[in-house]
Chains A and B, each alone.
Chain A
Amino acid sequence: MANSYDVIVIGGGHNGLVNAAYLGRAGKKVLVLERRHILGGAACTEEVFPGFKFSVCSYVVSLLRPEIIRDLDLPRHGLEILPLDGTFTPMPSGDYLWRVNDHGKTHREIARHSRVDAEAYDEFGKAMQAMCRFVKPILSMVPPDPNTLNPRELMKLLFIGKRFQGMSSYDKYNQVQLMTMSAVDFLDQWFETDALKATMSASGIIGTFLGVRSPGTAYVLLHHYMGEIDGAFRAWGFARGGTGAISNAIGDAAREAGVEIRTQAAIAKIIVKDGKAKGVVLANGDEIYADTISSSVDPRLTFNKFIEADQLPADFLEDINRFKYRGSSGKVNMALDGLPNFKCMPGPGPHLRGAISISPSVEYMERAYDDAKYGNFSRHPYIDMVIPSLTDPSVAPPGKHVLSCFVQYAPYKLRPGLNWDDQKEAFGDTVVNTIAEYAPNIKDIILHRQVVTPLDLEREWGLSEGNIFQGELSLEQLFFLRPAPGYARFRTPIQNLYLCGTATHPGGGIMGAPGRLAALEILKDKGAA
Chain B
Amino acid sequence: MPETTRDIVIIGAGHNGLVAAFYLAKAGFKPLVLERRPQVGGAAVTDEFHPGFRCSTLAHTAGPIRPDIVRDLQLEKHGLKFITPETCVTALSPDGRALSLFQDKNKSAQAIAAFSQKDATKYPEFEGSLAKISKVIAEALATTPPDIDHPSRGDLWSMLKTGHALRNLGKRDMYRVLRWGPMAVADLVAEYFETELLRALIAARGIFGTFLGPWSAGSALQLLIRAAGDPHPAGSAFFVAGGAGALTQAMASAAQAAGVEIRTNAEVIEIRVKDGAATGVLLATGEEIVAKAVVSDADPKRTLLKLTDPTHLSPNFVQKLQHYRGNGTVAKVNLALSGLPDFTALKNGDGIALQGRIHIGPEIDYLERAFDESKYGNFSHHPYLKWRYRRSPMPRSRPRAST
Interface residues on B, range: 20 to 34
Interface residues on A, range: 20 to 34
CB-defined contacts of B320 to chain A, threshold 8 Å:
173
Within 8 Å of chain A (Cβ to Cβ): is B382? no
Q: Is the interface of B mostly helix, strand, loop or mixed?
A: helix
Q: Pick the contact of B174: A146, A373, A475 (CB < 8 A).
A: A146
Within 8 Å of chain B (Cβ to Cβ): is A476? yes
Q: Pick the contact of A370: B212, B218, B372 (CB < 8 A).
A: B372
Expressed in whole angstroms, the Cα–Cα distance for A180 and B221 within the complex equals: 11
CB-defined contacts of A176 to chain B, threshold 8 Å:
148
Within 8 A of A (CB), among B319-361: 320, 323, 325
CB-defined contacts of A481 to chain B, threshold 8 Å:
175, 178-179
Contact A147 B171 (CB under 8 A): yes
Interface centre among B179, B183, B320 (most CB of A within 10 A): B179
Within 8 Å of chain B (Cβ to Cβ): is A322? yes
Q: What 0/1 pattern do residues 465 to 491 of A give for CB contact below 8 A with B?
A: 000000000111000110001100000
Within 8 Å of chain B (Cβ to Cβ): is A242? no
Within 8 Å of chain B (Cβ to Cβ): is A216? yes
Expressed in whole angstroms, the Cα–Cα distance for A19 and B215 within the complex equals: 36
Q: What 0/1 pattern do residues 356 to 375 of B give for CB contact below 8 A with A?
A: 00000000010010001001
Within 8 Å of chain B (Cβ to Cβ): is A256? no
CB-defined contacts of A324 to chain B, threshold 8 Å:
187
Expressed in whole angstroms, the Cα–Cα distance for A214 and B220 within the complex equals: 13
Contact A216 B215 (CB under 8 A): no
Expressed in whole angstroms, the Cα–Cα distance for A213 and B191 within the complex equals: 24
Distance from A171 Cβ to chain B, minimum over Cβ atoms (Å): 11
Within 8 Å of chain B (Cβ to Cβ): is A195? no
Expressed in whole angstroms, the Cα–Cα distance for A215 and B215 within the complex equals: 10
CB-defined contacts of B48 to chain A, threshold 8 Å:
none
Nearest-neighbor residue (CB-CB) of B218 within chain A? A215
CB-defined contacts of B178 to chain A, threshold 8 Å:
146, 476, 480-481, 485
Distance from A469 Cβ to chain B, minimum over Cβ atoms (Å): 16
CB-defined contacts of A374 to chain B, threshold 8 Å:
365
Within 8 A of A (CB), among B147-177: 148-149, 167, 171-172, 174-175
Nearest-neighbor residue (CB-CB) of B176 within chain A? A485
Q: Pick the contact of B148: A146, A172, A315, A486 (CB < 8 A).
A: A172
Expressed in whole angstroms, the Cα–Cα distance for A322 and B180 within the complex equals: 12
Within 8 Å of chain B (Cβ to Cβ): is A503? no
CB-defined contacts of B183 to chain A, threshold 8 Å:
474, 476
Contact B217 A216 (CB under 8 A): yes
Within 8 A of A (CB), among B280-331: 316, 320, 323, 325
Nearest-neighbor residue (CB-CB) of A216 within chain B? B217
CB-defined contacts of A366 to chain B, threshold 8 Å:
375
Within 8 Å of chain B (Cβ to Cβ): is A185? yes
CB-defined contacts of B149 to chain A, threshold 8 Å:
169, 172
Distance from A34 Cβ to chain B, minimum over Cβ atoms (Å): 33
Interface centre among A147, A170, A185, A474 (most CB of B within 10 A): A147
CB-defined contacts of A188 to chain B, threshold 8 Å:
323
Q: Pick the contact of B217: A185, A189, A475 (CB < 8 A).
A: A475
Nearest-neighbor residue (CB-CB) of B364 within chain A? A373
CB-defined contacts of B323 to chain A, threshold 8 Å:
188-189
Q: Pick the contact of A210: B171, B217, B325 (CB < 8 A).
A: B217
Distance from B155 Cβ to chain A, minimum over Cβ atoms (Å): 12
Expressed in whole angstroms, the Cα–Cα distance for A210 and B187 within the complex equals: 13
Within 8 Å of chain A (Cβ to Cβ): is B52? no
Expressed in whole angstroms, the Cα–Cα distance for A169 and B148 within the complex equals: 8
Contact B212 A215 (CB under 8 A): yes
Expressed in whole angstroms, the Cα–Cα distance for A197 and B365 within the complex equals: 28
Within 8 Å of chain A (Cβ to Cβ): is B182? yes
Expressed in whole angstroms, the Cα–Cα distance for A161 and B149 within the complex equals: 12
Contact B376 A216 (CB under 8 A): no
Distance from B190 Cβ to chain A, minimum over Cβ atoms (Å): 9
CB-defined contacts of B195 to chain A, threshold 8 Å:
none
Q: What 0/1 pattern do residues 179 to 222 of B give for CB contact below 8 A with A?
A: 11111000100010000000000000000000010011110000
CB-defined contacts of B171 to chain A, threshold 8 Å:
147, 485-486
Distance from A364 Cβ to chain B, minimum over Cβ atoms (Å): 11
Expressed in whole angstroms, the Cα–Cα distance for A474 and B216 within the complex equals: 11
Expressed in whole angstroms, the Cα–Cα distance for A147 and B217 within the complex equals: 25
Distance from B384 Cβ to chain A, minimum over Cβ atoms (Å): 16
Distance from B114 Cβ to chain A, minimum over Cβ atoms (Å): 25
Within 8 Å of chain B (Cβ to Cβ): is A71? no
Expressed in whole angstroms, the Cα–Cα distance for A189 and B316 within the complex equals: 12
Within 8 A of B (CB), among A141-189: 146-147, 169-170, 172-173, 176, 180, 185, 188-189
Contact A476 B180 (CB under 8 A): yes
CB-defined contacts of B376 to chain A, threshold 8 Å:
363
Contact A373 B182 (CB under 8 A): no
Q: Pick the contact of A180: B180, B191, B218 (CB < 8 A).
A: B218
Expressed in whole angstroms, the Cα–Cα distance for A217 and B182 within the complex equals: 11
Contact A474 B179 (CB under 8 A): no
Q: What 0/1 pattern do residues 346 to 383 of A give for CB contact below 8 A with B?
A: 00000000000000000100100010011000000000
Q: Pick the contact of A373: B191, B215, B316 (CB < 8 A).
A: B215
CB-defined contacts of B212 to chain A, threshold 8 Å:
215
Nearest-neighbor residue (CB-CB) of A322 within chain B? B191
Distance from B194 Cβ to chain A, minimum over Cβ atoms (Å): 14
Expressed in whole angstroms, the Cα–Cα distance for A98 and B241 within the complex equals: 63
Q: Can you list 12 A-B contacts (CB < 8 A)?
A: A147-B175, A173-B148, A213-B375, A214-B216, A215-B217, A215-B218, A216-B217, A373-B365, A476-B179, A485-B175, A485-B178, A485-B179
Q: Give residues in B with beta carbon < 8 Å to A.
A: 148-149, 167, 171-172, 174-175, 178-183, 187, 191, 212, 215-218, 316, 320, 323, 325, 365, 368, 372, 375-376
Interface contacts beyond A146-B178, A481-B178: sample of 6 additional A-B pairs, CB < 8 Å, sorted by A: A147-B171, A169-B149, A215-B182, A215-B217, A322-B191, A476-B181
Q: Which 7 A-B pairs have the closest CB atoms?
A: A475-B182, A485-B175, A216-B217, A215-B218, A169-B149, A476-B179, A476-B182
